[in-house]
Amino acid sequence: MSENASTSPDTPTGSSTEKDPSDWVTGDEPATGAQRSYLSTLAREAGEQVPEDLTKARASELIDELQSRSGRAGGGQQG
């Protein structure tokens, strides 16, 4: 009985356990204030405009896109 107890059949085997934003239960809700604030910063740095009617899912996708373009991929705060 050498079964590995830490591996569950429900555990994703990929490198990321994050859900795709299109699969979020609340993905169709309006973007949060935090998402809008961070998007505003990223968009300003990228010379982009932030659409007014963003959903949580679309805001997340835009954050990922703008982070990768700006070199901020990975998020977090720099000190």
The answer as to whether 60 is a domain residue is yes
Say what percent of the chain tops pLDDT 70.
70
Model-level pTM?
Answer: 0.65
The answer as to whether 55 is a domain residue is yes
Question: Phi, psi (5° rounding) for residue 61?
Answer: -65, -40
**pLDDT tens for each residue of 5-18:** 555 555 455 555 67
Position 65 scores a pLDDT of 93
Residue 62 is part of which domain span? 28-70
Q: What is the mean pLDDT of residues 27-33?
A: 93
Residue 43 near residue 50 (C-beta atoms within 8 A): yes
Total number of domains constituting the chain: 1
Position 4 scores a pLDDT of 52
The answer as to whether 38 is a domain residue is yes
